[in-house]
């Protein structure tokens, strides 16, 4: 029999909390019999929501948290001062081993800060990246890092590449995923200081399928499965993806509505068009995992509905089943051990 | 009477050279009576192309250059070794004051390198940025820098902001253009080291309309007229713009072609849709100017047709007429003078 998995869910975070969060949690336990969900937040509010559903009571627990961290608060200050907030209380459950994973549609900043300082990093992991899936014409790729680690160093990017590969292979089933680093050109000599430093380190990794540089133009074409970059670049990519798509769809709509003839055309094409474009919707791919922690932290989109929450919870189940933290530990060795090994290699060659 | 303007044009650069380049040059002189074009490249080839047009011979000169720099060559090495290439010969004309501007659809790298080392920077300008126009839902914005200056410093970004403002106001007629710096969030404390260092310097500039940070999501919405960033980020923005747009349009096409009903709809909507989407085509906005040089260097898109070349030449005319180098000189003071002034300010406060 498979091991039971417990996921702590922030019932108070996101635009549609608590109704959609609670609904998503109920749907998750109804689908997965060996899952337990702990809903964290205002007990009376959560229980009121739960009252309208039927589900196995043994699979659901409610833990009270009296505070909520909002998007407008400074993340570090909020995590420090609001000890009884749903985010802090739920992440403490992961830290204490009472939950395998944590899902929140609330403040990204607070989730990231809590992930680093409450859940805590796996030994040897220098930085914990946020790694959302982005849509491509071939399906999707993992963009790592879009998190809080601006001004990352080369050694961080190497760890991102390894953790991203492990996630893509084990959670998303992409065999031997290709890994590329975001660069301003494909040529060897191109790049900023960070990319030039990182490139030989990535080439030297024999546990990833590194294919070299990727220009931003090739990302939407699915040019690589795992797209490695530091968080400033990652944030620009993620947000520009959304921005360009929204602006272009606005233009498509304008075009379709501009003449009588085109309006009739639009009426006929609408449902087919909607279906295809949904595949390219960045909010569709559930939550962004924060990797390298002692447990899985999933940041679900602020506008998450019940289905998105259910998907994020399912990610935690696979994560625990596949023992991703264990696999990361195997590949991310203690940096000092790496150094010693590096020297040994040099002597041999 | 207005001063005559002379523009040197690389007849050998780009996918459609020399036919479309020569055609664009002829169209430009037929439209502008006080313009002279110097076509640089293989004399016999150029003259063969010119033979099929009628134009005022006094406005056209051909200068022979026996070599061509291709996109596959290393820019620095190519500019150094190919002294008789069309790019090097034409840029020397600008340096020697025989031309006011230079237009090329050839190797971006060689154009940038030649701009810095042959045409040369205005005294006080630390780096010469490449500043293409990008389409937005409101029209277009200037993205500065997308050039070769990766790992720029804060003082460079401040100069980019000033030069971008001058260009946007004087060449493109955007009065008191808004200036923003690309950042990972709108909050004061957000940003990497470079953005944090640059922010107070931009705030202190009283000759630009600085409005603070811009998130990448807001760029396609026309969130600012002048978008300031270092070249690595700028390159990612420019290329992702193109990539996402292409991928999404592929999806739109797929959607429209997916059912019988939608195919009929597509037929009816096609022409209206094409017209609107053309407004969002990144290659439509002529050439990208390289600013801060002793003359205007315009890098036209590799796939430029005659119209694109004509537009790029027209940019050079306005640039010379408006005396942009003079205006840049006024706003970009000698760095040493700035330092002295900075100290004086500190003493006062």
Query: What DSSP letter does each residue of A286-329 carry, written as one string?
Result: -PEEEPSBSSEEEE--TT--HHHHHHHHHHHHHHHHTTHHHHHH
Alpha helix positions (H), B188-297: 193-203, 231-256, 260-278
Do B137 and B279 have their domain in common? yes
CATH of the domain at A340: 3.40.718.10
Alpha helix positions (H), chain A: 19-31, 43-50, 75-81, 86-95, 108-114, 154-170, 193-203, 231-256, 260-278, 306-321, 324-331, 335-348
Do A107 and A140 have their domain in common? no
Do A147 and A256 have their domain in common? yes
Q: Do B254 and A274 touch (CB under 8 A)?
A: no
Q: Is residue B342 part of a domain?
A: no
Q: Do A258 and B241 touch (CB under 8 A)?
A: no
Do B279 and B298 have their domain in common? no
Do A137 and A279 have their domain in common? yes
Q: How far apart are CA B193 and CA B190, in angstroms?
A: 10
Preceding omega of A294 cis (within 30 degrees of 0): no
When CB atoms are compared, the residue of B239, B262, B274 closest to A216 is B239
Q: Is residue B344 part of a domain?
A: no
pLDDT mean over A231-244: 93
CA atoms within 13 A on the CB side of B116: 17
Chain B residues within an 8 Å CB radius of A249: 248
Chain A residues within an 8 Å CB radius of B248: 220, 244-245, 248-249, 277, 280
Q: How far apart are CA B140 and CA B279, in angstroms?
A: 9
CA atoms within 13 A on the CB side of A174: 21
Q: Do B220 and A150 touch (CB under 8 A)?
A: no
Q: Walk across the sheet containing B60-64 and list its strands.
A: B60-64, B35-41, B5-10, B101-104, B296-299, B288-290
Residue with more model confidence, B254 or B104: B104
DSSP state of A2: P
Share above pLDDT 70 across residues of chain B, in percent, rounded to a whole number: 92
pLDDT at B320 over 60: yes
Domain final position from B259, B284, B309: B284
**Residue A54: how many other CB atoms lie within 10 Å:** 7
pLDDT at A2 over 80: no
pLDDT at B343: 47
CB pairs under 8 A between A and B: 204
ipTM, two decimals: 0.86
Q: Is residue B345 part of a domain?
A: no
Domain final position from A252, A283, A314: A283
Q: Which position has the token pair 């940070």?
A: B213
Among chain A residues, the shortest Cα distance to B146 is held by: A184
DSSP state of A279: T
Q: Which position has the token pair 């944030």?
A: A235
Do B275 and B298 have their domain in common? no
Q: Do B277 and A233 touch (CB under 8 A)?
A: no
Q: Do B265 and A261 touch (CB under 8 A)?
A: no
CA atoms within 13 A on the CB side of B188: 4
Domains contained in chain B, number: 2
Do A187 and A79 have their domain in common? no
Q: Do B137 and A252 touch (CB under 8 A)?
A: no
Which of A148, A186, A218, A240 is the best mutation test for B, with the most CBs of B within 10 A?
A240
Q: Do A252 and B256 touch (CB under 8 A)?
A: no
Domain final position from A283, A307, A328: A283
Q: How far apart are CA A130 and CA A292, in angstroms?
A: 9
When CB atoms are compared, the residue of B215, B240, B256 closest to A269 is B256
Do A142 and A121 have their domain in common? no
pLDDT mean over A24-28: 97
Domain holding A259, by residue range, is: 132-283
Q: Do A256 and B272 touch (CB under 8 A)?
A: yes
Query: Minimal Cα–Cα distance from A189 to chain B, Å?
Result: 9
- SS in 3 state form for B2-39? CCCEEEEEECCCCCCCCHHHHHHHHHHHHHCCCEEEEE
pLDDT at B348 over 50: no
Interval A55-104: pLDDT, tens: 999 999 999 999 999 988 999 999 999 999 999 999 999 999 999 999 99
Q: Which residues contact B54 (CB under 8 A, 6 or more apart)?
A: none
pLDDT at B346: 45
pLDDT at A335: 52
pLDDT at A342 over 50: no
Q: How far apart are CA A140 and CA A172, in angstroms?
A: 10
Chain A residues within an 8 Å CB radius of B237: 216, 236, 240
pLDDT at B336 over 80: no
Do A178 and A317 have their domain in common? no
Residue with more model confidence, A284 or B253: B253
Do B183 and B277 have their domain in common? yes
Q: Do A220 and B254 touch (CB under 8 A)?
A: no
The answer to whether A195 and B236 are in contact (CB under 8 A) is no
pLDDT mean over B57-64: 97
Token digits of residue B220: 């396609």
DSSP state of A115: I
Q: What angle do CA B58, B59, B62 make, to 5 degrees?
A: 90
Token digits of residue B58: 């006094």
pLDDT mean over A292-310: 92
Q: Is residue B346 part of a domain?
A: no
Do B116 and B223 have their domain in common? no
Q: Which residues contact A231 (CB under 8 A, 6 or more apart)?
A: A129, A130, A145, A146, A147, A148, A149, A150, A152, B184
Query: Minimal Cα–Cα distance from B187 to chain A, Å?
Result: 9
DSSP state of A130: B
pLDDT at A188: 67
**Quick check: helix, strand or coil at residue B293?**
strand
Do A46 and A188 have their domain in common? no
Q: What is the dihedral of CA B308, B313, B317, B322, to 10 degrees?
A: 60
Q: Do B216 and A232 touch (CB under 8 A)?
A: no
Q: Is residue B31 part of a domain?
A: yes
């Amino acid at each position: 029999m498979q091991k039971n998995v417990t996921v702590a869910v922030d019932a108070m975070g996101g635009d549609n909390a608590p109704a959609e969060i609670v609904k998503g949690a109920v749907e998750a336990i109804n689908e997965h019999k060996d899952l337990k969900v702990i809903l964290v937040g205002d007990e009376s509010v959560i229980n009121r929501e739960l009252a309208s559903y039927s589900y196995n009571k043994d699979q659901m627990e409610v833990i009270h948290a009296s505070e909520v961290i909002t998007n407008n608060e400074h993340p570090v200050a909020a995590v420090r001062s609001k000890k009884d907030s749903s985010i802090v209380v739920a992440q403490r459950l992961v830290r204490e081993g009472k939950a395998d994973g944590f899902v929140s549609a609330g403040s990204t900043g607070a989730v990231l800060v809590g992930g680093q300082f409450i859940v805590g990093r796996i030994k040897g992991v220098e930085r914990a990246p946020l790694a959302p899936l982005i849509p491509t014409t071939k399906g999707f790729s993992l963009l790592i890092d879009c998190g809080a680690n601006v001004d990352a160093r080369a050694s961080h990017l190497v760890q991102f590449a390894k953790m991203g590969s492990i996630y893509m292979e084990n959670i998303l089933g992409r065999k031997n995923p290709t890994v590329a680093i975001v660069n301003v050109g494909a040529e060897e000599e191109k790049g900023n200081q960070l990319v030039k430093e990182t490139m030989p380190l990535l080439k030297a990794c024999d546990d990833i399928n590194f294919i070299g540089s990727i220009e931003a133009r090739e990302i939407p074409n699915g040019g690589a499965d795992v797209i490695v970059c530091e968080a400033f670049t990652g944030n620009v990519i993620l947000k520009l993806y959304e921005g360009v798509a929204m602006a272009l769809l606005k233009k498509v709509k304008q075009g379709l509505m501009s003449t009588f003839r085109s309006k009739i055309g639009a009426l006929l094409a609408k449902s087919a068009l909607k279906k295809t474009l949904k595949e390219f919707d960045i909010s569709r791919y559930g939550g962004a995992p924060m990797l390298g922690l002692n447990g899985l932290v999933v940041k679900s989109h602020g506008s998450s509905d019940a289905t998105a929450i259910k998907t994020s919870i399912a990610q935690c189940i696979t994560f625990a089943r596949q023992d991703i933290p264990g696999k990361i530990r195997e590949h991310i060795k203690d940096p000092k051990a790496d150094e010693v090994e590096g020297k040994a290699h040099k002597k041999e060659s």
